[in-house]
Amino acid sequence: MAPNVALVVGSFFMGDSEKSAATVKKGFPKLEGLEVGEPTMGNEFDFDSLKDCKLLIICTSSQYGMPPPDFAEFAHHLLNAATNHPGCLKHLQHAVFGNGDETYFDTYMNMPRYMDMLLEKAGSRRFFARGEKGEPNAALDTEKTTCEAWTKGMWAAAAAALKDPSAPAVPWDALWAKHKSEHHEKVTQWDLKKLE
């Protein structure tokens, strides 16, 4: 079977999101009907291949609130899809895991949050609450999310999502349903011009 789960990565120099993507891939429990592709950097990913995917998992960090250099092309394609072709990804379901450094307070977790928002605007259905390393996650009943715990919960949610793809989407801010972020819950949006 050809891969129908895309695993797209945007990683800054520390490589945390590459490690997260490896954890997600390794944690795949062999769900019937799914085949996970190899983790692929955003700039190397063929955005058009999403038409053949059932699920999209993104692991990314930010570079001052903007895409890491190896993720800029994917971010551009997604922003274009959400802006000019809303609903074009309605066949897709997604989940996002984010890494960040709270030292950069103003732009902390911006890329994971914005990519999650844009996927929804493009029509994709969020099937599991976004994971943000070290942040609360109500679905996991934790105040400090780890990629390992998020991966386990995400794959369990993926199994349920396959059985009922028409279920309501998980809200964008569902991770904060029990505990608020210690830092902030903001997202800074930018347009295509900013990426060009």
Mean of the per-residue pLDDT values for the chain?
89
- Provide the 8-state DSSP code for 142: B
CB–CB of 32/80 below 8 Å?
no
Crossing angle of helices 110-121 and 72-84, in 10° steps, is 40
Specify the pLDDT at position 179.
85
26, 28, 118 from 35: Cα distances, Å: 12, 9, 24
User: Is the backbone of residue 68 left (phi > 0), alpha (psi -120 to 50) or beta?
Assistant: beta
Crossing angle of helices 147-163 and 16-26, in 10° steps, is 50
- Per-residue pLDDT averaged across 119-123, rounded? 97
The pairing of beta strand 93-98 with beta strand 40-41: unpaired
At 155 the three-state DSSP class reads helix
Whether pLDDT at 104 is above 60: no
Between 157 and 2, residue with greater pLDDT:
157
Q: Which two tokens stand for residue 184?
A: 């902030």
- Per-residue pLDDT averaged across 110-133, rounded? 96
Whether pLDDT at 105 is above 60: no
CA separation for the pair 196, 4 (Å, rounded): 30
Contacts of 68 (CB under 8 A, 6+ apart): 10, 11, 12, 17, 42, 60, 61, 62, 111
Specify the pLDDT at position 67.
81
Specify the pLDDT at position 101.
63
CB–CB of 43/71 below 8 Å?
yes
pLDDT in tens, 53-88: 999 999 998 876 678 889 999 999 999 999 999 999
Specify the pLDDT at position 170.
97
At 190 the three-state DSSP class reads coil
Whether pLDDT at 124 is above 70: yes
- Per-residue pLDDT averaged across 39-48, rounded? 95
Specify the pLDDT at position 184.
59
CB atoms within 10 A of CB 134: 17
CB–CB of 181/143 below 8 Å?
no
